[in-house]
Structure 1
Amino acid sequence: MHPVFLRIGSLAEIHAATATGPLARGRRVIARTGRGIELGEVIGPCGNSRAISDSSVTIVRATTQEDELLIRRLDRHKRQAVEACRTALAESGSPACLLDVDQIFDGGTLVMHFLGPVDDIAASVTKAVAEKYESIVRSRHFAKLLSDGCGPDCGTAEGGGCGTSCSGCAIAAACK
């Protein structure tokens, strides 16, 4: 195992993680976190074994060209969701201030970050915007393939590596 530090999310949270192989600084990766499958960026090696043993973050794989295309699509929809939410909050008279949004890589979840308290109006506005966004980008089949590949732990050492379960594995190319 190769321990690294990852930068994840719009707030640039730093997490210790493990990878199956060495990864260069700046490399974008798909990681499994407590929130789901997320995009991360390697910021350097981690020599702290305690940080790794306490970490719940694992690197699934490095991003592929297909992932980068999907990331651009998700970013476009995310920007639209942020602007729609900010506009709706201003029009409703809510004092809530939306800072930014994290999107989970499968497109099924938005995590909204606010400055200060969130009132009932802001809660209902953000719920409506999130539901609209998620209905646009969500693909349950894609999310399942992204998470599982051709079976649980596909592409990991526990699952026997890539391509061992089926020849049509959705993530086989990324694992090679």
Structure 2
Amino acid sequence: MGKMQLVYLRIGSLAEIHAATALLPLSRGRRVIVRTGRGIELGEVVGPCRTHPVGQATTRVLRPTTEEDELLIRRLDRHKRRAVEECRIAMQDAGCSATLLDVDQLFDGGTLVMHFLGEVDEQARQITETIAGQYESVVQSRHFAKLLSDGCGPDCGTKEGGGCSGTCGSCAVGCATKS
């Protein structure tokens, strides 16, 4: 394994900057799958971090994105955009004073973090919970959730090359997301 490196990452719709540990060199602009305090997320490398102590970085780069990840991300983005629009319309129709700015979706596809402007009242909370539930039922499946947690089967990720056989595409997701 290589030497632990620190990089700055841009994460989420609010473009928060996080210092993260990485086991391989990453160039600026590279999209990566990361583990944050919220879960598994998509990040973008901003550049090297030379001032943050390695032991204090709470975000960890799991791996660069793959072609399969990018396809999944596009699919999740389509569903997220639909959920955001439905939520905005429902809130406007209900006369809610809060404004939905944007939504972060975690890479697991089952977690939405909503960002609002203004006070979120009970009615807005109920609307967002309903929309989030609909979104989750569309994008989540037991099969996908199992792949995220277990890979493709027993001993997934224990052989050299990072997967069961090194050729299993689902191992890339399963192995990278293990703690």
Amino acid at match of 1:142: F
Structure 2: runs of 5+ lacking an equivalent:
none
TM-score (norm 1): 0.86
Amino acid at match of 1:103: Q
- Equivalence map 1:119-134=2 (5 Å): 119-134=121-136
CA-CA distance at 1:54 after TM superposition? 1.7
* Cα RMSD, aligned residues only: 2.4
Q: Which of these residues, 117, 120, 123, is aligned with residue 118 of structure 1?
A: 120
CA–CA distance in structure 2, aligned partners of residues 61 and 98 of structure 1: 31
Structure 1: runs of 5+ lacking an equivalent:
none
Would the aligned equivalents of 2:19 and 2:52 in 1 still touch at CA under 8 Å? Answer: no
CA–CA distance in structure 1, aligned partners of residues 9 and 109 of structure 2: 20
Q: Which of these residues, 21, 25, 29, is aligned with residue 28 of structure 2?
A: 25
CA-CA distance at 1:89 after TM superposition? 0.1
CA–CA distance in structure 1, aligned partners of residues 150 and 46 of structure 2: 26
Count residues with an aligned counterpart. Answer: 169
Deviation above 6 Å: which 4+ runs of structure 1? none
- Equivalence map 1:43-82=2 (5 Å): 43-50=46-53, 52-82=54-84
From the superposition, tell whether residues 15 and 147 of structure 1 become closer, same or farther in structure 2 (CA, over 3 Å): farther
Identity across matched positions, percent = 65
CA–CA distance in structure 1, aligned partners of residues 87 and 65 of structure 2: 29
Q: Is the aligned partner of 1:13 residue 2:16?
A: yes
Amino acid at match of 1:163: G
Q: Which of these residues, 73, 95, 105, is aligned with residue 107 of structure 2?
A: 105
TM-score (norm 2): 0.85
CA–CA distance in structure 2, aligned partners of residues 2 and 161 of structure 1: 22
CA–CA distance in structure 2, aligned partners of residues 161 and 126 of structure 1: 44
Q: Which of these residues, 75, 85, 92, is aligned with residue 87 of structure 2?
A: 85
